[in-house]
Structure 1
Amino acid sequence: MISKKPRIFVPENLEINWENLEPLFLELRDRPINSVEELERWLKDKSELEAALEEDFAWRYIRMTCDTANEELLKSFQYFATEIEPKIAPIANDLNKKLIENPFSKNLDKDKYYVFIRGVKKALQLFREENIPLLTEIQVKQQTYHSITGAMSVTLDGKEYTLEQASVFLKDPQRSVRQKAWEAITARRLQDKDKLDDLFNELLKLRHKVALNAGFENFRDYMFQALGRFDYSPHDCYKFHAAIEREIVPILHKQADKRRIALGLPQLKPWDMDVDISGKPALKPFNSGQDLIEKSIRCFKELNPYIGERLEIMKENGLFDVESRKGKAPGGYNYPLAETGAPFIFMNSANTFRDLTTMVHEGGHAVHTFISADLELNDFKHLPSEVAELASMSMELISMDKWEVFFDNEEDLKRAKRDQLRDVLKTLPWVAVVDQFQHWIYTNPEHTTEQRKTAWKEIIEPFGNNFTDWRGYEEALENLWQKQLHIFEVPFYYIEYGIAQLGAIAVWKNYKTNPEVALEQYLAALKLGYTKTIKEIYKTAGIEFNFSSEYVHKLAKFIKAELEKIDQ
């Protein structure tokens, strides 16, 4: 069993409310600091308080997403968001000022604190008192997306399913079954399209106002700074989009054509993209959520005992909620528990192959949480997404080496690996589309709902429209973006998946050459947390931080070669 680290500054069992927190923040604000040693002690105490607050907030979020219909859990989350965070924001800014203005800050170890201090200075530049109520309103409003989508279900042949459960039928060899399921899922999503459009329009206005208050022309430019994107620019993102269109889309068009021929169809429709073209039933790598957890532990243990033991610790401590059910928020996540040093994995398993890849993805995040848990300051563990997603996406590919745990049939194992590599390629255009769409949204903040639909269709078209024929289902295509929760809840958090996917392919390429060295480099990179720049962390992992067309071409060529080996 695991437990929280002993507290030194924050009282044990402190009830989290502002009355109890304010004296702690004021003590930090007013404490004299007369040496480097005293400054480092102050940083540790501040870190301890932040970790306590982050873990409290984490559990409020986890419990709310596990049961979106529970009003008390929603109120608990909203209390923190509306009554605690807005009061912390101004005094946290004062603490940042105190750190930077303290004369001893110049004597801190530059190698150790460089990335952290750089982030503090950026936060000071972006802080505006008038944005506190706006950011609070945004955070509360974003959760409406969970409430709307978590309530969605469909009835097929007299039985009610969540959308995740119903998606299993999209793998059925019988085309009429797939079409019926896809149309039911799509119709249910479209029932709430106006609600989601209205919600997004409100979020758009609030986000744009935040950007203007902070002195930016648009929310895109504000978010590049707020997300700490020191290593690349919007222009680099456009280059990434172009590289994916040039290097990856043609490969996927060829694969789609092979799929169409194998299925004997005149054209592929949206419900034809998940079925196995061999005509065999969908892969079933596990039988239940518990079975998925057990097999994932075995898979990770065979890769590396330390990795497997992390998931075992989570199981023993009840840190999983993996089954899909009505009222549960959609999607999946790994939520770090800052004080405990372990994470919670949330997902919506419907006993599909995709659930396996979700688990090993979130498992990669979980290992990252554990291996960086002992870093000295809480801020050292605040990972940029380009690094966090490298951990998870690399694990998807590395773990394939041990997938016989899930598949005792050699042909099924080959099918699983083939599907995974195809999904790797499919991820890249979707990332490019979602990212480019967000660039358009926030640099055109006065757009109408209809203009947004038009822009979405124009952006997705050169990336293959998901490589299907949408005739007769144009409304579904123009609202397809609404299923991407990142657009609603974590704006501009998506290009990271593309950058990290390229990095993960490179990690796996190294692993295929020398498994021991590649795994050692991977874990060494994860252990750094965010104490080095992104480029330095990627270098530690034995790869480049690079998304040029030439690099994309090289990695795509490698994936194609690996697919050909599987097909031999």
Structure 2
Amino acid sequence: MAQENKLTTEYGKLIASAQIPFEGGVYTLSQLSPFKNDPDDARRLAAWKAEGAWYKEHGAEFDGLYDQLVHLRDTMGKKLGYEGYTTLGYYRMGRNCYTKADVEKFRAAVVKYIVPLADSIYREQAGRLGKQYPMNAADNALMFRSGNPRPAGDADAILKQGKKFYEELSPETGVFFNKMLDDQLMDVLSTPGKAGGGYCTSLGDYEMPFIFANFNGTQHDVEVVTHEAGHAFAAYMNRDRIPYSYVWPSMEACEVHSMSMEFFAWPWADGFFGADARKFRYSHLAGALTFIPYGTMVDHFQHIVYEHPELTPAQRHEEWKKLAAIYQPWMRLDGEIPFYGAGEYWQRQMHIYQSPFYYIDYCLAQTVSLQFWAMLQKDRADAWSHYMAYTKQGGSRTFTELLKNAGLTTPFEESCLRGVSEAAKAWLDSYDLTGII
């Protein structure tokens, strides 16, 4: 584990060290993100190529670190008497109520119900953009020709609207968010050399959560205030639990708090996004649906890698490309952006390096969050009562028990993915995008 920590730390340092030249400036990976969503086709493609070039330049380092990690983890598993790393990986993730077979069943349902829906979303997007389907990664990143939704204000304005959202959502969330602001428990600005990503953690001595993020002027900034604060609210609600390990449930159960909270923010979207609120609601739901196939693919890839630790780096890239054909048929891998065309873009996903098998969690949780979204379309108060019933249990129950106790369906039931995909398709088909190009 000490060796593993050393290697994953090296990966984190490598990502944080990125200095990418672009249009006369130098940017970190996070700071480059706004250019990757630019409505100007040439500028957007140039940004994706610049990012890809940096990854390609360091490709041998990324491959070398992962190769060492895979063999090290395989050895760890065998040392403890397992077939390799997979079983140990599940135990280390705290999986206590579902198996590899359940995940395989979920993957099959994703391919059956979600991939076709996501595919139709990208086909419509290609039509709006005037592009030929399938599109490259740079064009897939632009949902509207007039540009992706952007926050109406700066970081201070987003936090101010976050305060309004939580104060009006419920008494509990109002008290919680004001304490986070008053006690300066959020570090959200993106600065040179700052570690990448965003997360919520707990400061045990203070019995309070802490949010770390990198605002960059995109819609992701609003999702940080809703997503990470969803985690933080759950921790806050359960801060007095004994034993302390009952504050947080398992990882996939935690992601339900955050991904669902994003959807509860929809009635306040006008305050966050102004004129772009309609764009945001569409792109947020569409993004949730198109994310599930990608996230499932990340998990499938890791199962292949740890079942076949002997694969070379080149063979791993080929496996990724094969999976992309199944889970991302809308992604054109023709070499226009070499990093993507070579099937190397899994290297951007830090979880693959630092938290093996921590990714299907997002897909399972997103599926549950879509249940909350469907409830919200009918009765917000009812949806919130289910959310609180789920959240108040903390980590005192397994994932499937938490769902059952809150009147929710487990994602491992095929009917769950079928139901949310049908509800989402009906909403998307009827959503009024008049005047938005």
- d(CA) in 2 for partners of 1:353 and 1:406? 9
User: Does the aligned pair in 2 maintain the 1:302–1:402 contact within 8 Å?
Assistant: no
- d(CA) in 1 for partners of 2:94 and 2:216? 36
The match for 1:458 is 322
The match for 1:165 is 31
Secondary structure at 1:248 match in 2: helix
Q: Does 1:175 align with 2:41?
A: yes
The match for 2:169 is 303
Secondary structure at 2:298 match in 1: helix
Secondary structure at 2:14 match in 1: helix
The match for 2:350 is 485
Secondary structure at 2:127 match in 1: helix
The match for 1:550 is 415
The match for 2:286 is 422
Match among 115, 121, 124 for residue 258 of structure 1: 124
The match for 1:64 is none
Task: Give the total of aligned pairs.
Answer: 431
- d(CA) in 1 for partners of 2:248 and 2:261? 20
The match for 2:112 is 246
User: Does the aligned pair in 2 maintain the 1:286–1:351 contact within 8 Å?
Assistant: no
Match among 195, 201, 206 for residue 335 of structure 1: 201
- d(CA) in 2 for partners of 1:346 and 1:466? 32
- d(CA) in 1 for partners of 2:43 and 2:337? 17
1:514, CA displacement in angstroms? 2.4
- d(CA) in 1 for partners of 2:406 and 2:313? 43
User: Does the aligned pair in 2 maintain the 1:270–1:470 contact within 8 Å?
Assistant: no
Identity rate, percent: 28
User: Does the aligned pair in 2 maintain the 1:190–1:476 contact within 8 Å?
Assistant: no
The match for 1:273 is 140
The unaligned stretches of length 5 or more in structure 2 are: none
1:474, CA displacement in angstroms? 4.7
User: Does the aligned pair in 1 maintain the 2:367–2:417 contact within 8 Å?
Assistant: yes
Letter matched to residue 522 of structure 1 = Y
Match among 262, 268, 273 for residue 407 of structure 1: 273
TM-score (norm 2): 0.94
- d(CA) in 1 for partners of 2:318 and 2:181? 46
User: Does the aligned pair in 2 maintain the 1:162–1:324 contact within 8 Å?
Assistant: no
Secondary structure at 1:406 match in 2: helix
Matches within 5 A, 1:425-444: 425-444=289-308
Letter matched to residue 228 of structure 1 = G
The match for 2:76 is 210
Q: Does 1:389 align with 2:255?
A: yes
The match for 1:22 is none
The match for 1:7 is none
Q: Does 1:532 align with 2:397?
A: yes
User: Does the aligned pair in 2 maintain the 1:204–1:445 contact within 8 Å?
Assistant: yes
Rg larger for: 1
Q: Does 1:354 align with 2:220?
A: yes
User: Does the aligned pair in 1 maintain the 2:52–2:338 contact within 8 Å?
Assistant: no
User: Does the aligned pair in 2 maintain the 1:521–1:540 contact within 8 Å?
Assistant: no
Q: Does 1:473 align with 2:337?
A: yes
Letter matched to residue 476 of structure 1 = Y
1:345, CA displacement in angstroms? 0.8
1:563, CA displacement in angstroms? 2.0
- d(CA) in 1 for partners of 2:424 and 2:224? 20
- d(CA) in 1 for partners of 2:293 and 2:57? 27
Cα distance, 1:273–1:288 mapped onto 2, change above 3 Å: same
- d(CA) in 1 for partners of 2:221 and 2:415? 33
User: Does the aligned pair in 2 maintain the 1:150–1:329 contact within 8 Å?
Assistant: yes
- d(CA) in 2 for partners of 1:373 and 1:239? 35
User: Does the aligned pair in 2 maintain the 1:247–1:549 contact within 8 Å?
Assistant: no
Letter matched to residue 366 of structure 2 = Q
Deviations 1:273-324 (A, max 9, x none): 22242x3244331433232222212122221232133222112112111112
User: Does the aligned pair in 2 maintain the 1:243–1:552 contact within 8 Å?
Assistant: yes
- d(CA) in 2 for partners of 1:199 and 1:276? 34
- d(CA) in 2 for partners of 1:362 and 1:255? 27
Q: Does 1:237 align with 2:99?
A: no
- d(CA) in 2 for partners of 1:254 and 1:344? 39
1:171, CA displacement in angstroms? 2.3
- d(CA) in 2 for partners of 1:136 and 1:433? 29
Letter matched to residue 251 of structure 2 = S
1:465, CA displacement in angstroms? 4.9
The match for 1:321 is 187
RMSD: 1.7
The unaligned stretches of length 5 or more in structure 1 are: 1-134
Letter matched to residue 311 of structure 1 = F
Matches within 5 A, 1:2-401: 135-267=1-133, 268-277=135-144, 279-401=145-267
- d(CA) in 1 for partners of 2:430 and 2:119? 20
1:246, CA displacement in angstroms? 1.4
- d(CA) in 2 for partners of 1:150 and 1:441? 25
Name which of structure 1's ranges 184-193 and 415-424 shifts more when overlaid on structure 2: 184-193
1:211, CA displacement in angstroms? 0.7
User: Does the aligned pair in 2 maintain the 1:292–1:356 contact within 8 Å?
Assistant: yes
Deviations 1:353-404 (A, max 9, x none): 1221132110100101100101121121242012100101110111112212
Cα distance, 1:144–1:161 mapped onto 2, change above 3 Å: same
User: Does the aligned pair in 2 maintain the 1:151–1:326 contact within 8 Å?
Assistant: no
- d(CA) in 1 for partners of 2:150 and 2:400? 39
The match for 1:500 is 365
Q: Does 1:566 align with 2:431?
A: yes
Cα distance, 1:545–1:162 mapped onto 2, change above 3 Å: same
Letter matched to residue 346 of structure 1 = F
User: Does the aligned pair in 1 maintain the 2:77–2:88 contact within 8 Å?
Assistant: yes
Letter matched to residue 369 of structure 1 = A
